[in-house]
Amino acid sequence: MDIFSSLVRLKIIPFLKKWNLLNSILGAIDILAITLAFQFSYYINYLSTGGFFFTERNFLFLYLSIMPLWLIVLYFINIAEIPRTKRYRVLFLEYFQSALVIGILLLLVYFMFKMAWISRLFLIEFTILGFVFLLTVRVLEYKVFKIYRAKGYNYVNVVLIADDSSIPFIERLIANPEWGYRIISIFSESVKVKEKYEKTIILLQEEYLAVLHDLMEGDIIDEVLYVKSKVVPSEVRNVIRSCEELGVTFRLKYDDDRLNLTNAIKTNIENEKFLTFINVPYNSYALTVKKIMDITLSLLLIILLSPLLLTISILIKITSKGPLIYKQSRVGLRGRQFDLYKFRTMIINADQLRQELESKNEADGPVFKIKDDPRVTGIGNFLRKTGFDELPQLINVLKGEMSLIGPRPPLKEETKHYKRWQLRRLSVKPGLSCFWQIKPDRNSIKFEKWMEMDLAYIDNWSLRLDFIILIKTIRTVFQRTGL
């Protein structure tokens, strides 16, 4: 029996995908593996004491200190997520590296703080068992994800620019669906490529490479792979320019290890080497911290603000008819659509009434805004001024669809009117707040200026910038100038 077909039929996989729970489950498994390693080491070294380590205050404190540290190390060396084409020996070396770092840190702390009450053998055994348990569960997860991707889930949409020499690589992508690469189309002048794939894949002549830009605009394209043996510089420059304009990742296959470009990072797909061009901020450590902070802060804020969320829910319910939460389809990372959550601030037939109010639109560009919108309820007006109507989007952040800081997610209808250079704002996750929202006169900011500010955020992104915007967003909420 196909277990994945059963999970789809029972709507378990769609549920996990909808709520982005897979990463949370993987994180929970890592925590369990570390916890079991700690418990086994405790039991082996303190057999006479018996029981569980959390009954001993000192050991509980030690565990609570080590757990987040090891998870952070896993994130920082980029092995917290399931790889696509990584070899098992590479996984072994990476997890061995994480265990070595933890082991050294534990021994340093042991000698610095003279923690004689802990057995050094316990620390060594915990490090070894942690390595074994973490590696074991990750190898099992890797195998499961290979099956999962082979069934058509968790894929990356790619466009290839190929020649005769590219056929072995294309064959490996097709023969290994567990890698999760879905070929949308191939640009090639090769007769062999055409004869081999024209019946199964969209093939276009390289002379029509200019339509690649339109293809990336109209479809969800994650990456463009240049896999020709002979690089045509002018061709590569044009493709890179298009990819940079739209925020699509571009990979250039290379063979010379001495090749090094400051604006590209070296990556691998199986045993093929690529120079990867990403026209969005790429700092793996900083991006990892951002991801951790998004999850941690959104969960913490949901818990801390639960009394406020409950109060708002009651006020909405008793002052107007309709649902508490307004769900609206928005465009996220690289054109992927998701349901954005907001507290309902309008009457229930607001969307239908918008057509009648189009002539009163005060915003330029494809955005619709009216200063005194007659559709807004009394409590809705207050929620908009304080920005409290956006609070349910903390759930979107927790699900991984949004970030705390980033360009606001647009409507699908709005993106249809975007100019090409404006589409690059979709190259990062949308956020709760960004540059233009912390401006005191943001409601009068022209559409093109708004787009420029979003792109300026992308080009200058840093954790420090996110922190500044977050602080100013909180100030904006207290000033009640609206978000």
pLDDT digits (tens, 9 = 90+) for 233-266: 888 888 888 887 777 889 999 887 665 555 678 8
Confidence of residue 8 (pLDDT cuts 50, 70, 90): very low
Contact present, 211 and 217 (Cβ < 8 Å): no
Q: Cα–Cα distance between 296 and 285 in angstroms, integer?
A: 16
Q: How far is CA 428 from the centre of its chain?
A: 8
Confidence of residue 415 (pLDDT cuts 50, 70, 90): confident
Please indicate, yes or no, whether residues 7 and 76 belong to a single structural domain of this protein: yes
Number of independent structural domains in the chain: 3
Residue pair 436/415 in contact by the 8 Å Cβ criterion:
no
- What's the pTM value of the predicted model, to 2 decimals? 0.58
- Domain containing residue 193: CATH number: 3.40.50.720
Q: Region of 334 please: left (phi>0), alpha (psi -120 to 50) or beta.
A: left
Q: Are residues 335 and 390 located together in one domain of the fold? A: yes
Structure token pair of residue 48 = 């006479």
| Run of H or E including 342 | strand 337-343
Of 90, 119, 150, which one is at a domain's C-terminal end?
Answer: 150
Inter-residue contact 104 to 97 (CB < 8 Å): no
pLDDT given for residue 49 in this prediction: 64
- Is the domain of 201 the same as that of 253? yes
The pairing of strands 156-162 and 181-188 is parallel
Reply yes or no on whether the pLDDT at 19 is more than 50. Answer: no
Which residue is associated with the tokens 């980029």?
Answer: 78
In this model, does residue 186 exceed pLDDT 90?
yes
Judgement on whether residues 433 and 473 belong to the same structural domain of the protein: yes
Dmax over Cα atoms in the chain, in whole Å? 81
Residues 6+ apart with CB under 8 A from 342: 325, 326, 328, 389, 390, 392, 393
Q: Using DSSP, state whether 60 is helix, strand or coil.
A: helix
Mean pLDDT of the chain, nearest integer: 80
pLDDT, average across residues 219-238: 87
Same domain flag for 20 and 144: yes
Asked whether residue 177 falls in the same domain as residue 223, the answer is: yes
Give the residue, 7 or 224, on which the prediction is more confident.
224
Query: Looking at residue 4, what is its pLDDT?
Result: 46
Across the strands, what pairs with 328? 340
397 neighbors 390 (Cβ within 8 angstroms):
no
Contact 36, 92 (CB under 8 A): no
Q: Are residues 240 and 346 in the same domain?
A: no
Give the mean model confidence (pLDDT) for residues 203-220.
Answer: 81
DSSP 130-185: HHHHHHHHHHHHHHHHHHHHHTT-S-EEEEEEE-GGGHHHHHHHHH-GGG-EEEEE
- Beta-carbon neighbour count of residue 249 at 10 Å? 22
- Mean per-residue pLDDT, 28-34: 86
Domain final residue pick, 150, 165, 196: 150
Q: Give the angle 165-167-173 at the CA atoms, nearest 5°.
A: 130
pLDDT for residue 310 is more than 90: yes
What pLDDT is attached to residue 449? 83
Same domain, 67 and 110: yes
331 and 361 fall within a common domain: yes
Q: Which amino acid is at 151?
A: K
Better-scored residue on pLDDT, 360 or 146: 146
Same domain, 401 and 463: yes
CA proximity to 81, closest of 129, 155, 24, 130: 24
Its domain, for residue 451, covers: 285-479
Domain limit, last residue, from 227, 248, 279: 279
- How many angstroms separate the CA atoms of 353 and 348, rounded? 10
Find where tokens 């890592």 sit: 30
On whether both 344 and 445 belong to a single domain, the answer is yes
Residues 209 and 352 in one domain: no
Half-sphere exposure of 113 (CA within 13 A, CB side): 10
In Å, what is the CA distance from 191 to each residue of 158, 159, 198? 21, 18, 10
pLDDT over 60 at 314, yes or no: yes
